[in-house]
A and B are shown apart, each in its own frame.
Chain A
């Protein structure tokens, strides 16, 4: 299981990369592995705003549809529209080309460290 050191995580298996006031969000390697082949990603509109804990979209795999939750409130400044035609990027490169949205946020959330996230995954299995 790949859990990069330079990212923060949520219990609902999203990863967050914060750069200045921009937070990039995707789903973890573990999440894509559990979901299996992803066939559709429902992305939010650019400019939409979300509160922390709200669902901003969903990913659909051959097994299930899963909501995506943002741990931070903010405005969507960019979505990875390449996923509309190539949702498999999330399976192939969840921390790179498989990123999902970028939010402009002024919030600080309590996120999990890589070690804490690994523990969450262990407890679940």
Chain B
């Protein structure tokens, strides 16, 4: 498919605007800027009229699938509806027009939002201290594990070289461990698809810095032994980190601190309904125990009397983002939490109910590897002889964004379906009907899919083997 670029649609000299005549004396650029600062060639900008711009981007957007155009059951990504009330809050001029370098006295309202959100996340997690700075879940993980590292360095404990990661973990977990300078070791699963506690007992020793656990895990199964797991780690002086990507299954029902989790990240762009997709912007806020709090990123927001201000935690690992993180996402998440209040637990209940409805309806036709009550997402396998990739491509023809496929890695031909709480029974029934129909479709027909998408089946192998990245 040829690239559809806006600059190919223009004509030299065409403009979509006219400016009034200048009322000051015009000068040549060369007389103002030194030669070294001037381009030798003109930039290749699109020279187009306004209708062309509008049509170009509108047409491109119509080739895209997203939560605003279709059901989007992307497992482990919580593609829930983004309430428009959040957007109303985000465009309030007093917030939208802020500059990150304004003095504290001028941004008390924004600081109050951040301080209150820190408190809300603290309440949801049960952990007393929060940083809103990390810009994504993976960065929240890295920040957390760097804090753990700093804790041991500060304590003079140099032997902590290993971070344990279950085989169901998100790929970012072992990546985080190695970026932070640890060696990651994989733990196997028991028959329920949960961390094998006996194996954990054997692996944990004085070199263990932390275990990174996702709960519920990426099979959508609740790690029922989490308190025991915490105990094993704590006895060895190690920390329990919780990947909070799946907090949509926990809100108001399970507070990680009560399972003795020491530190965790949230994805505000998943659990708290802020927009995402295409890589951001996100907010991977973290929450931690008293022990780890001195190492939190700088700055945090504090309240003294009626005044809000920035404060540097005592032994901070430093900044992890420029300025203060993605404030717009914090504002939306604050709004979302305020709208729900204690009813956040209904969000969790409905998300879990929807996932179990899908599980019950697909079971029998699709294989369910861990066939017990799931949390907010369910792993299914296509009927014998069919491939997850082909079913996923088939879904595109029916107008759905496919679920996550080939993850978690421990399940062959995995399809990880997360319906979220905001979908109606009718939407779920339509999706289930399509899934059942695809299960009956011949392999030959499925291999042709997608036939109605802007591009047909892409040659993913060639794209990966002969990678041509440019920007």
Using a CB–CB cutoff of 8 Å, the interface residues on chain A facing chain B are 34, 37, 39-40, 60, 62-66, 87-88
Contact = CB atoms under 8 A, between A and B. Distances in A.
B411 to A, nearest CB: 11
A38 B465 CA distance: 8
B409 A87 contact: no
Interface in B435-471: 460-461, 464-465
B406 to A, nearest CB: 4
A87 B465 contact: yes
Nearest to A39: B464
Given A39-B461, A40-B464, A64-B407, 14 more contacts: A34-B412, A37-B460, A37-B461, A39-B464, A39-B465, A40-B465, A60-B464, A62-B461, A62-B464, A63-B406, A64-B406, A64-B409, A65-B171, A87-B465
Contacts of B409: 64, 66
What is the interface residue range for chain B against chain A?
10 to 19
A91 to B, nearest CB: 9
Q: Which of A39, A63, A64, A65 has the most CB of B within 10 A?
A: A63
A98 B464 CA distance: 19
A41 to B, nearest CB: 11
A39 B460 CA distance: 9
Contacts of A60: 464
Nearest to B412: A34
19 contacts: A34-B412, A37-B461, A39-B461, A39-B464, A39-B465, A40-B464, A40-B465, A62-B460, A62-B461, A62-B464, A63-B389, A63-B406, A64-B406, A64-B407, A64-B409, A65-B171, A66-B409, A87-B465, A88-B465
Q: Which of B389, B412, B464 has the most CB of A within 10 A?
A: B464
Contacts of A65: 171
A69 to B, nearest CB: 11
Contacts of B171: 65
Nearest to A125: B412
A60 B461 CA distance: 11
B269 to A, nearest CB: 25
